[in-house]
């Protein structure tokens, strides 16, 4: 008898609910007869990289990570006063407008959700069925970000590198991590 339950759990099929266009399982309100057991196992998997936007259409999850970055954003984002002053001085020295773009951030976000749900229902009486469902949910979120710098940004990094290679490397690292 226990072997039947084990086999029914192992042979349960996986429902891939990535789009949910049609029902993938039908529940019933029928009461199980006394002593009848109904073990089931549901495995729901969903991959997401889009969401519904404010306009009613689909938009990418990482859409808010894609934006233009101005020189003012770069100057104001410096936590080191020396690097902030060097960057601001170099931007002025090169004749760049602080509100002009220095580049842009880019990002992609993907999520994976896996819900494993063992369900056990037992007919307690002719009019009462008891059921237990214990979902175990795993969620993974992956975000890949980057920065695409303009030619002016590369010239600025090269100019800083002539005077202080360590500060130039620090500035380049911060540009590459512009999303944070």
Supply 150's token pair: 């303009």
Torsions phi, psi for 75 (to 5 deg): -65, -45
Q: What is the pLDDT of residue 8?
A: 54
Q: What is the pLDDT of residue 22?
A: 47
Residue recorded with tokens 């006063």: 81
Q: What is the pLDDT of residue 111?
A: 94
Q: How many CB atoms lie within 10 A of CB 95?
A: 7
Q: What is the pLDDT of residue 134?
A: 92
Alpha-carbon distances, residue 97 vs 84, 94, 102 (angstroms): 16, 9, 10
Percentage of residues in the chain having pLDDT higher than 70? 81
* Residue 128 per-residue DSSP state: -
* Dihedral sign from CA coordinates of 77, 82, 85, 91: negative
Please calculate the CA angle 68-73-76 and round it to the nearest 5 degrees.
170
Nearest to 76 by CA among 107, 52, 99: 99
Contact 86, 167 (CB under 8 A): yes
pLDDT tens digits for range 66-122: 888 888 888 887 777 887 887 788 788 888 888 888 888 888 999 999 999 998 989
Q: What is the pLDDT of residue 14?
A: 46
Lowest mean pLDDT among 103-112, 151-160, 171-180: 171-180
- Top mean pLDDT of 32-36, 76-80, 135-139 is at 135-139
> Is residue 63's pLDDT more than 80?
yes
């Amino acid at each position: 008898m226990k072997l039947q339950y084990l086999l029914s759990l192992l042979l349960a099929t996986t429902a891939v609910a990535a789009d949910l266009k049609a029902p993938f399982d039908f529940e019933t309100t029928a009461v199980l007869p006394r002593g009848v057991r109904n073990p089931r196992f549901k495995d729901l998997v969903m991959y997401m990289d889009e969401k519904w936007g404010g306009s009613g259409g689909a938009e990418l999850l990482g859409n808010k990570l894609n934006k233009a970055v101005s020189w003012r954003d770069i100057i104001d984002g410096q936590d080191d006063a020396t690097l902030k002053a060097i960057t601001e001085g170099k931007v002025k020295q090169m004749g760049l407008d602080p509100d002009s773009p220095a580049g842009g951030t880019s990002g992609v976000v993907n999520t994976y959700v896996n819900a494993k749900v063992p369900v056990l229902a037992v007919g307690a009486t002719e009019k009462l069925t008891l059921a237990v469902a214990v979902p175990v949910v795993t969620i993974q979120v992956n975000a890949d970000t980057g920065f695409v710098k303009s030619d002016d940004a590369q010239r600025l990094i090269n100019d800083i590198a002539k005077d202080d290679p360590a500060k130039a490397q620090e500035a380049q690292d911060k540009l590459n991590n512009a999303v944070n």
